Structure 1
Amino acid sequence: MIVSYPAVFYKLEDGAYSVAFPDFGVATHGEDLEDATRMAIECLASRIKCLKEYDEEIPKPTLDLNLVEVDEKDGEDDYIEATKQIITVDVEEYARKHFDKSVKKNLTIPKWMNDLALELNINFSKTLQDALLDEINRKRREIAIDEE
């Protein structure tokens, strides 16, 4: 499924870019234009993939860039310039290469733990993935609390 959606690239004073997708109300950023473009493609692919997975409606793209609104500047530390651009991505292909790809990891556990887990038919990969996801979410909550 190839999709195209408008994005607004906001150039910041430090040379970084903030990228907004008005049709979705989501945004991303990059250290420079190349990085921001890469991140915009990832953001769009992940948003569409997520909407499809939860059977939510995918909004129709606003392909007329003249209809895409740019946020008003509201202070001294705001963006320098804004540029509208259409971002296109093959969602399934991108997901296959970047989201759904598994990587092999080696780990070391005590023999007694291995033996007992095998005896209980525990799926090692699923258990590790679940534990890692729990730990990732816990760390993200800690970081969010620290930033407040």
Structure 2
Amino acid sequence: MKLIYPACFYPSEEGGFTVVFPDLPGCVTEGDTLAEAMEMAIDAASGWLLDEVEENKQLPKVSDIKNIIPDEYENGFVSLIGIDLDEYSQKHGNKAVKKTLTIPAWLNTIAEENNVNFSQVLQNALKDQLNIADN
């Protein structure tokens, strides 16, 4: 799912930019340069939107960029930020995916007798196999 949301960029006195998304309450980020602020804006908005999707909430309606007026006292400007939520979700999503697998019946019996959490064992084994450290 590709989305576009307007963002307000405000230059900081110390240099860099603060970025605020009027349609995404509490979604604020910053960067030392305009390029970094743009990168951080994409990441922040993607994370904010992914959280909403994973909690089955409706995504906020996108405001028309013509209706977004940055704070004139802070010399802000508005830019559209493109977000590829599918790509971001593949890298950072926590939504569970159901997998069907087969194991020998005897192994299943012993594991169930020992209250093994099959999902947790598979996750741990996959992380180990792929050399992924726990966060």
TM bucket normalised to smaller = 0.5 to 0.7
Deviation at 1:56, TM superposition (A): 1.1
> What amino acid sits opposite 1:23 in the alignment?
D
Q: Distance in 2 between matches of 1:31 and 1:96?
A: 27
> What amino acid sits opposite 1:22 in the alignment?
P
Deviation at 1:100, TM superposition (A): 4.1
Deviation string 1:61-106 (CA, Å, 9 cap, x unpaired) is 013x220132353xxxxx4x21100001110112223x149xxxxx
Identify if the C-alpha distance between structure 1 residues 60 and 34 changes in structure 2 by more than 3 Å, giving closer, same or farther.
same
Deviation string 1:98-122 (CA, Å, 9 cap, x unpaired) is x149xxxxxxxxxxxxxxxxx8747
Paired positions, count? 104
For the 8 Å contact 1:7–1:20, the answer to whether it is kept is yes
Question: Structure 1: which 4+ aligned runs deviate by more than 2 Å?
Answer: 119-126
For the 8 Å contact 1:4–1:89, the answer to whether it is kept is yes
For the 8 Å contact 2:9–2:19, the answer to whether it is kept is yes
Deviation at 1:24, TM superposition (A): 1.2
- Kindly report the root-mean-square deviation, in angstroms, between the aligned alpha carbons of the 2 structures: 2.7
| Identity, % of aligned positions | 28
Query: Are positions 1:19 and 2:19 aligned together?
Result: yes
Matches within 5 A, 1:24-63: 24-25=24-25, 26-63=27-64
Runs of 5+ unmatched residues, structure 2: 95-113, 126-133
SS at match of 1:62: coil
TM-score scaled by length of structure 2? 0.65
Q: Distance in 2 between matches of 1:59 and 1:100?
A: 19
Deviation string 1:33-63 (CA, Å, 9 cap, x unpaired) is 1111111001111111111111112111013
TM-score scaled by length of structure 1? 0.60
For the 8 Å contact 1:15–1:32, the answer to whether it is kept is yes
